[in-house]
Chain A
Amino acid sequence: MPKVKRSRKPPPDGWELIEPTLDELDQKMREELYEYCTREGYADKNLIAKWKKQGYENLCCLRCIQTRDTNFGTNCICRVPKGKLEVGRIIECTHCGCRGCSG
């Protein structure tokens, strides 16, 4: 990710502590390193697998598409595109607080 800061607001506390680490991550990441992290569990393999699918690029978490968790076998409400929701109301899903991860 480029180092350009888009927002004009100053970053919150703790940013100074983690900024160097994040920058190093950006610089040093290589394919081999990536695979290692994924295998060891530093990255969520299953969630990343979903991101590669069309329509799920912004998926918030894996619970929200688990149909067995819902009463009627559907996805979580955060998976409904904003255009279809028509309520004009803010929805936060109960699992992860997501406000809409598609559309």
Chain B
Amino acid sequence: MATSLGSNTYNRQNWEDSDFPILCQTCLGENPYIRMTKEKYGKECKICARPFTVFRWCPGVRMRFKKTEVCQTCSKMKNVCQTCLLDLEYGLPIQVRDTGMSIKDDLLRSDVNKEYYTQNMERKIQNSDSTRPVGMLGKAQNPSDMLLKLARTTPYYKRNRPHICSFWVKGECKRGEECPYRHEKPTDPDDPLADQNIKDRYYGINDPVADKLLKRSSSMPRLDPPEDKSITTLYIGGLGENLTDSELRNHFYQYGEIRTITLVQRQQCAFIQFATRQGAELAAEKTFNKLIINGRRLAVKWGRSQAAKGTDVKDGFDEMGTGLEPVPGLPTTLPPPPALEEEAPANYFNLDPSSSPALMNISLPPPPGLSNPLPPGFGAPMFHPMGPPPPPPMALRPPGHIHYPSQDPQRMGAHAAIRHSE
């Protein structure tokens, strides 16, 4: 521990000097005009115990004077405000932010270890540019939705209020009206939020406020993928009168290939069926409770299984009749296997018994009466000619044939909002 300012600093923790504090808007208060005092080496940092420059100001009328509690090195390591130790971007406790961004920061905590670590970090900070947080935090960059949802939108000035007058609590406050402390009932000591500790809050362990927030976030509405793996349809509600098929398509195609879109104008809803289950799940995740088109937030839910819906559509076309041509050369859908009652032991490939079984390893005697193994009630359009046709050579598609919206030269790229800044 450096015992005085001038003592040997070659391999020791230096006392910290700074020009301007690192603070969040709430701590600074609502008044844009602030007078602040600066005191070099005014106090010890609450975390690393080094003397540092203390800044002190009044955050508003009837607020207590706030001052910086931790040094700039400690605050830069975690990207937090020097006074309240909440994240500078989200205003959330360190534990919540680290959980949300899945950062596991292992700061050394005991005595000499801590000093050594802070000393090294300080040197690193000096060498890097001071716009990005140093250490673990600098590496993780994706903005997290969960954190955005948990973050406050307006500043919470109740934090800046004076502390409770302990004399008044005992009934002994002689100052009366002019007492600057609060004459209010103190918080319940049984409340878990009552025992908070600055070191626990900083290192992100055992923080009751963080626990409360995390519990709240886990109980927020979530859309779970349904059990039945064959469902790839999403129900989209709250469309409004003017939302068209092409707008929906333009947004949802980025998640995966869309098989069909069915719009039901009367009920202001649509069903979007994806070709892959993965695409549907991705779409659900990205749009549930988030998608806003034309200023309306759309309700996204999972649709029901194929059989239950009973709608009957051709590949590549929807009920409205507007459709893109199916891409040539892709394998078409397989017909479902025949129902059990009519099952013939080995006719799994659904070949015409008279066509050449050249592709089959086992030659089977074609059973009579099975040339049309259609289960009753099955839609005819789904049934394709028997026998696997040889795939046509992949010739160049004639120009002007559009199979996906992104091939349309008039519109480039997806139309969904872009969330990340980089």
Contacts and interface: CB of A to CB of B under 8 A. Distances in A.
Nearest to A73: B35
A90 B178 contact: yes
A72 B37 CA distance: 8
Do most interface residues of chain B lie in helix, strand or loop, or is the interface mixed? mixed
A89 B37 contact: no
B61 interface: yes
A89 B61 CA distance: 11
A62 interface: no
B177 A90 contact: yes
A21 B24 CA distance: 62
B37 A87 contact: no
B60 to A, nearest CB: 12
Contact of A91 (B37, B62, B176, B178): B178
Contact of A87 (B35, B62, B176): B62
Range class of the B interface residue count: under 10
A6 B177 CA distance: 27
Contact of B35 (A72, A89, A91): A72
Nearest to B177: A90
A71 B42 CA distance: 15
Interface in A16-58: none
A71 B37 contact: yes
B169 to A, nearest CB: 20
Nearest to A71: B37
Given A72-B35, A87-B62, 7 more contacts: A71-B37, A87-B61, A90-B176, A90-B177, A90-B178, A91-B178, A92-B178
Nearest to A87: B61
Contacts of A72: 35, 37
A90 B62 CA distance: 12
A86 B12 CA distance: 51
Interface string A69-101: 001100000000000000101111000000000
Give 4 nearest A-B pairs by CB, closest first.
A90-B177, A90-B178, A92-B178, A72-B35
A31 B35 CA distance: 48
Contacts of A90: 176-178
Nearest to B175: A92
Interface string B139-178: 0000000000000000000000000000000000000111
A89 B182 CA distance: 13
Contacts of B177: 89-90
Interface string B47-66: 00000000000000110000
A82 B61 CA distance: 15
Interface in B1-45: 35, 37
A56 B361 CA distance: 114
B64 to A, nearest CB: 15
A92 B258 CA distance: 74
Interface in B43-102: 61-62
A72 B178 CA distance: 22
A89 B176 CA distance: 11
B55 to A, nearest CB: 12
Contacts of B178: 89-92
Contacts of A89: 177-178
Nearest to B176: A90
Contacts of B176: 90
Contacts of A71: 35, 37
B360 to A, nearest CB: 94
B40 to A, nearest CB: 15
A89 B62 CA distance: 10
Contacts of A92: 178
A71 B34 CA distance: 13
A50 B35 CA distance: 29
Contacts of A91: 178
A92 B176 CA distance: 11
13 contacts: A71-B35, A71-B37, A72-B35, A72-B37, A87-B61, A87-B62, A89-B177, A89-B178, A90-B176, A90-B177, A90-B178, A91-B178, A92-B178
A90 B37 CA distance: 25
A99 B177 CA distance: 12
Contacts of A87: 61-62
Nearest to A93: B178
A90 B179 CA distance: 9
A90 B61 CA distance: 14
A14 B178 CA distance: 29
Residue in B37, B61, B62, B178 with the greatest tally of chain A CB atoms within 10 Å: B178
B67 to A, nearest CB: 12
A91 B35 CA distance: 20
A78 to B, nearest CB: 11
A98 B177 CA distance: 14
A20 to B, nearest CB: 35
Contacts of B61: 87
Contacts of B35: 71-72
